[in-house]
Structure 1
Amino acid sequence: MYISDLTLSAFRAHDDFKISFGERINLITGPNGIGKTNLLEAIHYLCLTKSFVSARDATAIREGSDEFVIRGRFVDGGTQSRSVSLQYSKATGKTLQVNKATVERVTGHVGLLPVVVFSPDDYGITAGGPEERRRFLDNMLCQASKTYLADLQNFRHALKQRNSLLVQATSHTATFRSQLDAWSSEVVRHGARVINRRRTDISLINSYLHDSLEQLGLANEVPEMRYRSVPVGDVDRGTSSGGRDLSLEEIEERYFEALVEAGSNDMARRRTSVGPHRDELELFVNGRPLRNYASQGQHRTFAMALKLAKYHYLYKLCETKPILLLDDAFDHLDPERIAGYIHLIQDKLECQAFITTANPGVIESIVQWGDPNRHFNLSVMIGALEKE
């Protein structure tokens, strides 16, 4: 699947903008602030109905407008295609249409057009806090499984209600206890499903992570991801610390026990302290914690390997090649490393990719070592539009 056409109306830097893309590498250049990232963000909106830049849709509306509209045409490589339109209005919110039919629940759309974003912020996945790694894992699993997406949404709703109850509690009456028990049961029921899916998919993701490091020329490095979940104890390679795999029912039991044990602490702090929202995804290379021992360059390489593993994982489970969005991802790399990545994308993955940069050296390396289907200089394109 690839996107062939994109139209933007009142979206960030672009008032009325149309562009057609190639099936493989699309190089987007121009000075900072011209709107390169906006194009990638718009594609991401059409794929996942949300931005990778900001959590607030309203910030993407061009100044002076009340709404933005993004339209795109996706082709499956044959003759079939689908048109996707996303509109966000300050008055009515977000509306998604596929082939001119309104999509009532976006959960049914997520995963149909898989996408992977590469950016300088990826450094935070390996060097940042656990919330960065949970976000990375959740994004991957939500695109691959509508069941996981629903479980995660239900867990977050139940968690929000439980935390709200803890904050508002002034006395521990029978009514309060009854409501707390009810929401605790919902937190456990949905949270256990989230934990179970995370831990069972780690072994598959690990295999793709190892392959990805090999593709990046680091075959001697042995990577590993370990999922640590407080409710069920240490989880390593999909099993409990005792070496025995756990059933969903056993995870629920352990989670409930952990929640009861943390009851006094939760009451005092007025928030839920255990669950998948606090779990950790630990990264290792050759048995050593990446976060403590890796150099800055190793962090960047491992982050790139994680995103490549995500690509392979989504390709396997979604059964269609994800679109790659590389936003200034090559700006800190030397020409030899850039050449290796271009060769990988162009000759091995053979998927559609979008690369943005304002760096003349990066542009020269990509043009020298690759064969971009399209090279868009936004300064020239926008200048031509302004003259019309």
Structure 2
Amino acid sequence: MFLSRIRLISFRNYADLAVSFPAQGIHVSGPNASGKSNLFEAIHVLCTGRSQRSASRLEMIHFGAPEACVEGEFCDSEGKTTSASIGFSRDGKLALSLDGKKVGSLSQWFGVAPVVPCGPDDLEIVSGPPGLRRRFLDILLSQTDPDYLGHLMAYDSALRNRNRLLSLHVIDAQMGVYEEL
């Protein structure tokens, strides 16, 4: 699957930008602060629903605009296209659609178009702490296996509960349930 077209509306420094991508790929170049990273961020947002650069969607909305939208079209190896759109507003509303149909949540959206960002900081995956490798693999698996994200969220919740009980010095009988996980 590849991204064949993207449109950014009020996204970061772009008031309105439309780009088509050939199947063989593209080369992106330009002067500093011209928006290259913003284009890659928009692709990541379109594929995952989240920015790899910023925790706040408000930061991605063009100055003075009430909302931002990223639209795209993906083609698979057989030529079938899928259109996707993600919009978010200053009041916190999020709108997701695939082929014109609303998508209810980010967990349903995640993995529609798998993407693996790669940048200078990603060397930390190899040389950094194991937690970074686990996070990288969790993100990758969440995009490729529809059930993985739900299982991961349930596991993380159980782990937080277990750790909370440990910090309260709870008796062993209550901890037994969490030891089976």
Is the TM value for this pair above 0.5? Answer: yes
Structure 1 range deviating more: 100-109 or 27-36: 100-109
Matched AA of 1:149:
L
1:83 corresponds in structure 2 to 83
Q: CA deviation at 1:106?
A: 2.9
* Cα distance in 2 for residues equivalent to 1:23 and 1:30: 21
1: distance between equivalents of 2:79 and 2:130?
43
Aligned residue number for residue 57 of structure 2: 57
The one-letter amino acid of 1:21's match is F
Q: Write out aligned runs for 1:61-140 (5 A).
A: 61-140=61-140
> Which residue in 2 is equivalent to 1:17?
17
Q: CA deviation at 1:96?
A: 1.1
Q: Given the superposition, is the C-alpha separation of residues 21 and 158 from structure 1 closer, same or farther in structure 2, using an over 3 Å criterion? A: same
Distance 1:181 1:66, change over 3 A: farther
Mapped partners of 1:161, 1:91: distance in 2: 32
Q: Note closer, same or farther for the CA distance 1:181–1:34 as it changes in structure 2 (3 Å cut).
A: farther
Counterpart Cα distance in 2 of 1:128 and 1:38: 26
Give the % identical residues.
36
**C-alpha distance 129-22 of structure 1, shift in aligned 2 (>3 A):** same
Q: How many angstroms apart in 1 are the aligned matches of 2:93 and 2:130?
A: 31
State the alpha-carbon separation in 2 of the partners of residues 157 and 63 from structure 1.
37
- Counterpart amino acid of residue 46 in structure 2: L
2:142 is matched with 142
C-alpha separation between the residues in 2 aligned to 1:129 and 1:158?
A: 23
- Measure, in 2, the Cα distance between the counterparts of 1:104 and 1:166: 36
The whole-number CA distance in structure 1 between the counterparts of 2:91 and 2:174 is 38
Secondary structure at 1:24 match in 2: coil
Which residue does the alignment assign to 1:5? Answer: 5
Higher-Rg member (1/2): 1
**What's 2:157 paired with?**
157
Cα-to-partner distance string for 1:84-126 (whole Å, 9 max, x where unaligned)? 0001123143221101111113333333311122211111111
Q: 1:1-388 to 2 correspondence within 5 Å?
A: 1-161=1-161, 181=174, 185=177, 188=178, 253=180
SS at match of 1:116: coil
> Partner letter of residue 9 of structure 1?
I
Instruction: Determine the C-alpha separation between the residues in 2 that align with 1:88 and 1:156.
Output: 27
Equivalent residue letter for 2:95: T
Indicate how the Cα distance of structure 1 residues 25 and 158 shifts in structure 2: closer, same or farther if over 3 A, else same.
Answer: same
Query: 81-90 vs 157-166, which deviates more?
Result: 157-166
For residue 78 of structure 1, report the CA deviation from its aligned partner. 3.7
Q: Output the CA distance in 1 between the equivalents of 2:14 and 2:3.
A: 19
In structure 2, distance between residues paired with 1:163 and 1:54: 28
Structure 2 counterpart of 1:204: none
Counterpart amino acid of residue 147 in structure 1: D
TM-score relative to the length of structure 1: 0.42
Cα-Cα RMSD: 2.6
Which SS does the other structure have where 2:73 is aligned?
A: strand
Distance 2:66 2:162 in 1: 36
Q: Following the alignment from structure 2 to structure 1, what is the Cα–Cα distance between the partners of residues 174 and 104? A: 32
Change (3 A) 1:127 1:101: same
Code of the aligned partner of 1:56? S
Q: Secondary structure at the match of 2:34?
A: coil
Report 1 or 2 for greater relative contact order, CA contacts < 8 Å, sequence distance ≥ 6: 1
Q: Could you tell me how far 1:59 is from its partner in structure 2?
A: 1.9
Matches of 2:12 and 2:153, distance apart in 1: 29
Please give the per-residue CA displacement for 1:232-255, whole angstroms capped at 9, x wherever unaligned: xxxxxxxxxxxxxxxxxxxx64x5
Q: Distance in 1 between matches of 2:157 and 2:95?
A: 22
Q: Deviations over 1:292-327 (max 9, x none)?
A: xxxxxxxxxxxxxxxxxxxxxxxxxxxxxxxxxxxx
Give the whole-Å Cα distance in 2 for the aligned partners of 1:145 and 1:12: 31
What secondary structure does 1:19 align onto? strand
Q: Distance in 2 between matches of 1:6 and 1:104?
A: 22
Structure 1 residue 161: deviation in Å? Answer: 4.8
Structure 2 residue matching 1:115: 3-state secondary structure: coil
In 1: Cα distance, 2:141 partner to 2:80 partner: 27
